[in-house]
């Protein structure tokens, strides 16, 4: 490949990105009850308007029963399931776009991971009513009508993204949330049209993609961006939810809807490989793409050096998570030839520059980071922890 981080990139439907760097979707620990954006949310995103050429938000749940996916330390996430969210969505889009970069709304349904519903005494839904050993609450199987409604909710959330001024949406089909739960034979034990065979397990993800694409075709500008995020495998020791070959089968169908990009969530690193494979996940997925579908990868890309390796050897676009948390001007510095000035550690002196939300600061100033991957230098900000969200 001859890709450079600073290249302008034109996507399938005409949108042009200012560079190949993408801000990874990350929880902001800033939402208000009911999924509303707070002032902290807007300030966080405004500070990162030059973090990347394409900026993907925290996941926004599309149905009222789709979240919040509660995490210790902060009880809420952001929603897009109601027109009441439009004001916050507009402010978020404006904040991200103010320096000419593209704003993408990530949309999802948490399914069994909607712990916040359980905390609030509400039922938690999933493809199948399984007694998961890692959950301390029951889940209820979705009815056929509820499944149809959730598919429509993805479309409605997409329409809100369009109305709010976002440049695109990313369908979150990874990281064990509802779309992946339907695709996984470990969490989908249904015997109707939504479960069983590989074809049936692909039905829900494809129905969501079809609905989103239909809404975009009807209401969005021609260059509106659609992406799809997937974990390339679901492996739990010897228990397999799906392997990469099944994921390739799904994505080969997804890209028939002419999406702009596929986002591979690579927890083991951007250059990781399946067991007994000579090729990386990125290489395997690229092989099934046409020349108009872009590959976006995330995982282990922390600075300009790893970003350069990833973009030169593995993908069309690279997503940076931790790097844009610590340094909100990550891409700006790269494109200005100042990559050597990117901050790689948090410190009491740089906290203000990093513009973390109070919720994120609470998490990262704890020794355990409340389950989040720790930030380098996190030990230096222990004294900033107030215990506000400790439980």
> Does residue 2 have a cis peptide bond before it, meaning omega lies within 30 degrees of 0?
no
- The Cα 316–Cα 294 span in angstroms is 6
- The Cα 270–Cα 280 span in angstroms is 8
Tokens of 376: 């380098």
Give the strand pairing for 317-320 and 294-298: parallel
**242 included as an active-site residue:** no
* DSSP H/E element including 147: helix 144-164
Helices of type H across 194-275: 198-201, 203-219, 244-254
Domains of the chain: 9-344 (3.20.20.70)
Tell me if the pTM is above 0.95: yes
Q: Helix (H, G, I), strand (E, B), or coil: what is residue 312? A: helix
Among 61, 81, 177, 281, the one annotated catalytic: 177
Dihedral angle of Cα 28, 55, 114, 376, to the nearest 10 degrees: -50
> What pLDDT tens digit does each residue of the chain (391 aa) get?
578 999 999 999 999 999 999 999 999 999 999 999 999 999 999 999 999 999 999 999 999 999 998 666 677 899 999 999 999 999 999 999 999 999 999 999 999 999 999 988 999 999 999 999 889 999 999 999 999 999 999 999 999 999 999 999 999 999 999 999 999 999 999 999 999 999 999 999 999 999 999 999 999 999 999 999 999 999 998 899 999 999 999 999 999 999 999 999 998 899 999 999 999 999 999 999 998 999 999 999 999 999 999 999 999 999 999 999 999 999 999 999 999 999 999 999 999 999 999 999 998 998 888 778 899 999 999 998 888 776 5
């Amino acid at each position: 490949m001859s890709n450079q981080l600073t290249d302008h990139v034109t996507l399938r439907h005409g949108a042009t990105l200012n560079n190949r760097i993408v801000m990874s979707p990350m929880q902001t620990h800033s939402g208000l009850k009911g999924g509303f954006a707070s002032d902290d949310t807007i300030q966080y995103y405004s500070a990162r308007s030059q973090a990347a050429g394409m900026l993907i938000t925290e996941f926004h749940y599309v149905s009222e029963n789709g979240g919040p996916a509660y995490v210790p330390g902060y009880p809420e996430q952001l929603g897009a399931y109601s027109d009441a969210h439009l004001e916050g969505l507009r402010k978020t889009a404006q904040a991200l776009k103010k320096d000419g970069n593209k704003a993408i709304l990530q949309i999802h349904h948490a399914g069994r991971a909607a712990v916040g519903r359980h905390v609030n005494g509400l039922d938690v839904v999933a493809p199948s009513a399984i007694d998961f050993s890692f959950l301390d609450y029951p889940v209820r199987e979705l009815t056929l009508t509820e499944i149809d409604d959730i598919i429509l909710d993805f479309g409605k959330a997409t329409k809100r993204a369009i109305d709010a001024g976002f440049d695109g949406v990313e369908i979150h089909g990874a990281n064990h949330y509802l779309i992946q739960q339907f695709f996984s034979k470990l969490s989908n034990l249904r015997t109707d049209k939504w479960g069983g065979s590989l074809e049936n397990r692909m039905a829900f993800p494809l129905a969501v993609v079809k609905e989103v694409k239909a809404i975009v075709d009807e209401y969005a500008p021609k260059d509106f961006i659609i992406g799809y995020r997937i974990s390339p495998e679901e492996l739990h020791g010897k228990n397999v939810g799906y392997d990469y070959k099944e994921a390739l089968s799904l994505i080969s169908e997804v890209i028939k809807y002419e999406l702009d990009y596929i986002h591979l969530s690579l927890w083991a690193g951007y250059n990781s490989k399946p067991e007994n494979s000579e090729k990386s996940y990125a290489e395997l997925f690229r092989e099934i793409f046409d020349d108009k579908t872009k590959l976006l990868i995330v995982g282990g890309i922390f600075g300009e050096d790893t970003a350069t390796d990833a973009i030169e050897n593995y993908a069309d676009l690279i997503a940076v998570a931790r790097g844009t948390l610590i340094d909100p001007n990550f891409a700006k510095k790269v494109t200005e030839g100042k990559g050597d000035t990117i901050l790689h550690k948090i410190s009491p002196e740089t906290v203000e520059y990093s513009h973390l939300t109070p919720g994120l600061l609470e998490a990262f100033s704890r020794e355990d980071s409340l389950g989040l991957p720790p930030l380098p230098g996190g030990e230096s900000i222990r004294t900033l922890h107030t215990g506000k969200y400790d439980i």
